[in-house]
Amino acid sequence: MIMVVRMLGVASLVLACSPSTVRAAPSPALQSVLGFCKAHMTVDFPPEKGFGSPEGGGVPPELVAINADKWRCLDGQVLVCADSADGDQCARKSDDRHPRIVAQVCHDLGSSDDVPFYAGHPYRYDWACRGGKAVIIKTYPLDRRGFFQQAWAQLVVRNGVVSPTEAPEVVR
């Protein structure tokens, strides 16, 4: 099966990190993910049980093979994401422009180009501190459900071939 991934609103690509090609019928786990999304339409945090091996964290082997370690449903389609090492890439983000924790960190730091990860990571922004105040220095686009738009890609399954070539952009 060809697993083509379409960036939401952008060009088509294939999600993966390995240069190999895999030919096989969709596993029962992948078929159940596709069926789950068709039946439930939009689910931001699908259950992990029953969709893949325990080692794969509930991700079917075909998705693990293309380096997707998270999946969710949007409008009946399967979206996939390759998470970052800090586990932040695929998470839902806050649109809060005045978070208390970032304000407190900047108050304590005074001026800094780096806001500590624990304070700034749940937001769609990169922050800096200027004169004790939090300043947004970069904004990342979110999809309509609040996830990094460029981190999630639509999965399309066709004709029994998996041919990975490249993954969505890592945001952070």
pLDDT tens column, 122-167: 889 989 999 999 999 999 999 999 999 888 888 877 665 443 334 4
- C-alpha span between 156 and 14 (Å, rounded): 9
Query: HSE (CB half, 13 Å, CA atoms) of 94?
Result: 12
Beta partners for residue 148, in sequence order: 142
Strands 161-162 and 125-130: unpaired
Task: Report pLDDT for 24.
Answer: 55
pLDDT of residue 48: 75
| pTM to 2 decimal places | 0.71
Model pLDDT, residue 116: 79
Tell me how far CA of residue 44 lies from CA of 61, 108, 166, in angstroms: 20, 35, 24
CA distance 30 to 20: 19
Q: Of 91-100, 116-125, 145-154, which range is least confident?
A: 116-125
Could you tell me if 129 and 111 are in contact, meaning their C-beta atoms sit under 8 angstroms apart?
yes
Per residue in 43-90, pLDDT (tens digit) is 998 887 767 666 656 778 778 777 888 889 999 988 888 877 777 788
Question: Rounded to whole angstroms, how far apart are CA atoms 60 and 54?
Answer: 10
pLDDT score, position 86: 72
Please report which residue ranges of 26-111 form alpha helices under DSSP H. Answer: 28-40, 61-65, 100-109
pLDDT in tens, 16-41: 333 334 445 667 777 788 888 899 99
- Where does residue 41 rank: exposed (0-12), middle (13-18), buried (19+ CB within 10 A)? exposed
Sign of the four-CA dihedral 164, 166, 167, 172: positive
- What are phi and psi for residue 109, nearest 5 degrees? -80, -30
Of the candidates 40, 34, 46, the residue with the CA atom closest to the CA atom of residue 3: 34
